[in-house]
């Protein structure tokens, strides 16, 4: 029987792995490659803050799993993983319901010989009182679009009511990459909305507050990167609060541990991540306090050699005598997917697997059209700081490289041309 490789999760790492395995093992009949995901389409997660602000039309930048599977010689199964039977080597997929609650796809099992879990992460609200009830999260396209609809409704309501001066307060909890980029993108959106005639809420009356419990914005990056970002945000009119842990969230706003009240009608939680809850002690697999599956440097889970995990849902040691685990970043998922393309081929041929060692190639932060900042790292040039237009071009290139991995160079070139043409015919901001 043909070896069955089941990949659960069609995020950046899982989809890239399925595509590349399909082009190699699947196309030649060396393995049956199956991708399972709860959604029919994929959008690159680092773009969700642009979807939320309306700068990006998600329907024009999504990838359909069914079509991708056909073009790249793998199979797609719609369904959310709900269980695992390691003894029988099978996963359970929950039933998929339509918008009316009717069963669209029944619950079923998928057998595997090799299982790769790549289900990513979700935002961690740390159990903060009221956060789950009153905050929006940006883990999925649906959540980002929900934020955009709520933002737009404030402007449409003010416009229809003929208010002379409307106001909107937005609070963003967490000054990591998502929070920082969302704050800048919302400032840009405020100017674009006014330019399209929705000017009852003037740009200066969208009050954005960015709240960070740590001592500075972008705590995971060097201070020489975070300080210019902090300064730019303040020049844009964003109120940046550091050393301010949120203790409670209500419908009216947020309260910090030191007693400050921050009014906000729109609240976004972008602080911290954890793996999906169903991974916790999944059929005896080892997991940590963030629900991540603990893996060895081969990306195999510690208690089952036939099960691998990659990306944000995997707790993988850094390697090379470095302490700690691989950080939850897109470049790590890409590197791990590339390794598993080789490793799963080696597994089929009975050869030993390579260990994974994380390579940090730097970080880039986009501040919408206003600026970008980051650092690139390499063996020859060390660490190079980038700012402004050049940093913005490097930032855009990250998405294009993701597209090249999925579509190839020629089709990515056509997509770039299509995007360029669309700029002259489409609104600069999604208005619905």
Please write the tens of the pLDDT for every residue from 274-288.
Answer: 999 999 989 999 999
pLDDT tens digits, 90-148: 999 999 988 888 999 999 999 999 999 999 999 999 999 999 999 999 999 999 999 99
Q: Please tell me the predicted confidence (pLDDT) of residue 37.
A: 97
Same structural domain for residues 202 and 217?
yes
Q: Which of 236, 271, 306 is the last residue in one of the domains?
A: 271
Same structural domain for residues 309 and 259?
no
Q: Which of 58-62, 63-67, 165-169 has the lowest mean pLDDT?
A: 58-62
pTM, full prediction: 0.91
3-state secondary structure of 410: helix
pLDDT tens digits, 408-427: 888 888 888 877 776 665 66
Same structural domain for residues 138 and 201?
yes
The domain of 164 spans: 131-271
**How many residues would you count in the chain?**
432
376 within 8 A of 394, measured Cβ to Cβ: yes
- Dihedral of the CA atoms 246, 250, 255, 257 (nearest 10)? -50
For residue 89, being part of any structural domain is answered with yes
We report the CATH number of the domain holding residue 187 as: 3.50.50.60
Q: How many C-beta atoms surround the C-beta of residue 66 within 10 A?
A: 12
Q: Which tokens in the block code for residue 242?
A: 């550091």
Same structural domain for residues 257 and 288?
no
Q: What is the mean pLDDT of residues 28-50?
A: 94
Q: Please tell me the predicted confidence (pLDDT) of residue 389.
A: 62
Mean pLDDT score across all residues of the chain: 90
The continuous run of DSSP H or E covering 417 comes out as helix 409-422
How many angstroms separate the Cα of 253 from the Cα of each of 47, 198, 205, 279? Answer: 26, 25, 17, 33
């Amino acid at each position: 029987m043909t070896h069955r490789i089941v990949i659960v999760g069609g995020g950046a790492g899982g989809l890239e792995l399925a595509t590349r395995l399909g082009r190699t093992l699947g196309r030649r009949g060396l393995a049956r490659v199956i991708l399972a995901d709860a959604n029919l389409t994929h959008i690159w997660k680092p773009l969700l803050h642009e979807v939320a602000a309306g700068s990006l039309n998600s329907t024009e930048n999504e990838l359909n799993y069914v079509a991708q599977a056909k073009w790249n010689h793998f199979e797609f199964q719609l369904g959310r993983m709900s269980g695992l039977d390691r003894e029988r080597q099978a996963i359970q997929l929950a039933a998929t319901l339509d918008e009316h609650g009717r069963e669209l796809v029944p619950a079923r099992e998928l057998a595997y010989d090799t299982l790769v879990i790549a289900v990513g992460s979700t935002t961690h609200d740390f159990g903060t009182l009221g956060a789950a009830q009153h905050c929006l999260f940006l883990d999925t396209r649906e959540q980002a679009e929900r934020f955009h609809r709520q933002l737009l409704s404030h402007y449409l309501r003010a416009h229809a009511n003929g208010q002379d001066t409307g106001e909107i307060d937005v609070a963003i909890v967490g000054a990591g990459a998502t929070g920082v980029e969302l704050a800048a993108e919302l400032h840009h959106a405020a100017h674009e909305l006014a330019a399209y005639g929705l000017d009852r809420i003037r740009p200066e009356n969208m009050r954005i507050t960015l709240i960070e419990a740590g001592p500075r914005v972008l705590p995971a990056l060097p201070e020489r990167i975070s300080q210019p970002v902090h300064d730019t945000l303040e020049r844009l009119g964003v109120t940046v609060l550091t050393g301010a842990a949120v203790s409670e969230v209500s419908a009216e706003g947020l309260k910090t541990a030191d007693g400050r009240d921050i009014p906000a009608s729109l609240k976004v939680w972008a602080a911290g991540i954890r793996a999906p809850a169903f991974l916790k002690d999944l059929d005896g697999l080892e997991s940590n306090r963030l629900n991540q599956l603990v893996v060895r440097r081969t990306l195999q889970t510690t208690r089952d050699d036939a099960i691998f995990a990659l990306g944000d849902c995997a707790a993988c040691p850094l390697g090379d005598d470095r302490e700690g685990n691989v950080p939850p970043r897109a470049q790590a998922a890409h590197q791990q997917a590339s390794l598993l393309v080789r490793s799963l081929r080696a597994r089929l041929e009975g050869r030993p697997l390579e260990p994974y060692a994380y390579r940090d190639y730097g970080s880039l932060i986009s501040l919408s059209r206003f600026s970008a900042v980051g650092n690139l790292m390499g063996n020859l040039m060390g660490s190079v700081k980038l700012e402004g237009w050049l940093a913005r071009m490097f930032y855009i290139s990250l998405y294009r490289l993701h597209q090249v991995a999925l579509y190839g160079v020629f089709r990515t070139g056509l997509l770039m041309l299509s995007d360029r043409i669309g700029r002259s015919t489409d609104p600069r901001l999604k208005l619905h």
